[in-house]
A = this chain, B = another copy of it.
Amino acid sequence: MTQIYDLPGHLIRRLNQISVAVFAAQTKAAGFDLTPVQYGALASLRDHPGIDQTTLAGLIAHDQVTIGGVVSRLESRGYVQRRVRDDDRRARSLTLTERGESLLQTIQPAIRATQEQITNGLDEAERAEFIRLMRKLTDTGNQYSRAPLDTGGDA
């Protein structure tokens, strides 16, 4: 039989699908047009101004190619500035523009609402336990990912 509905892989995929849909609905309802990855990149750049694309990719656990495209779109929309670094002309230094900073602030309520809606099927205790288990799994599984999280030792 192998009902796929009980497989962790299937449930995780469904959960991600729902999570992305909720994010899209909430941000659109709030008047924004941003994807989860784009938000993650902007938030990470706010906390780590001046990093290059490879470092950014490591911070949000993505491969370089995807991040290259994401940054390119964020740049063309005026949220991010990309500059060739003086001390290493291969690398591009990334910083938020004022427009990017402003977006991050005004979009905050929609992000909060999104995270709440994703887990609003659980009570407080379940929600905390669920997050704890996810953190445990992502910590254990990070090594399996082809784009592992690389915070340089932090977080």
Closest to A18 in B: B141
Contact A9 B122 (CB under 8 A): no
Contact A121 B140 (CB under 8 A): yes
Contact A4 B44 (CB under 8 A): yes
CA distance in complex: A11, B127 (Å): 13
Considering the complex, which residues of chain A in the window 120-153 have a beta carbon less than 8 Å from any beta carbon of chain B? 120-122, 126, 129-131, 133-142, 144-147, 149
Chain B residue numbers with a CB within 8 Å of A88 are: none
Q: Which of the four size classes fits the interface of chain A?
A: 35 or more
Asked whether any CB of chain B lies closer than 8 Å to the CB of A14, the reply is: yes
CA distance in complex: A70, B137 (Å): 29
Chain B residue numbers with a CB within 8 Å of A134 are: 8, 11-12, 15
What is the total number of copies of this protein in its complex?
A: 2
Contact A118 B9 (CB under 8 A): yes
- Known: A8-B119, A12-B16, A137-B121. Contact between A21 and B145, CB under 8 A? yes
Contact B40 A4 (CB under 8 A): yes
Contact B46 A4 (CB under 8 A): no
CA distance in complex: A44, B23 (Å): 28
Contact A141 B15 (CB under 8 A): yes
Sample of 10 A–B contacts (CB below 8 Å): A1-B46, A1-B47, A5-B155, A6-B131, A8-B19, A8-B115, A8-B119, A12-B19, A13-B16, A13-B19
